[in-house]
Amino acid sequence: MARKSEDIYGARFWIKVWGERASVPPQRGERYYQRVMEGMTESEVAGLGVGALLFLATMAAPKVDAFIASSQR
């Protein structure tokens, strides 16, 4: 029985997708796919940070608006 990564990323998969003359991508170890699937990438961390800042700005907007309105009177 083939490993899960071979079923998805192996030669049989690419031959099914592209036919007999498929250029097969280089094989990587099982540990690489486990690390990729379990950890967050830098762009995901950055996206989480931006999302958190937008959420906090949304929550603080009424207080900031009230402060600006009171200072203009």
Q: Where is pLDDT greater, at 60 or 8?
A: 60
pLDDT at 13: 65
Q: Is the pTM of this model over 0.85?
A: no
pLDDT digits (tens, 9 = 90+) for 19-42: 655 455 556 666 666 655 567 788
Q: What are phi and psi of 29, to 5 degrees?
A: -75, 165
Q: Which residues of 21-53 are buried (b: 16+ CB within 10 A; e: fewer)?
A: eeeeeeeeeeeeeeeeeeeeeeeeeeeeeeeee
Tokens representing 17? 């997708």
pLDDT digits (tens, 9 = 90+) for 39-69: 778 888 899 999 999 999 999 999 999 999 9
Residue ranges per structural domain of the chain = 1-39, 42-73
pLDDT at 62: 95
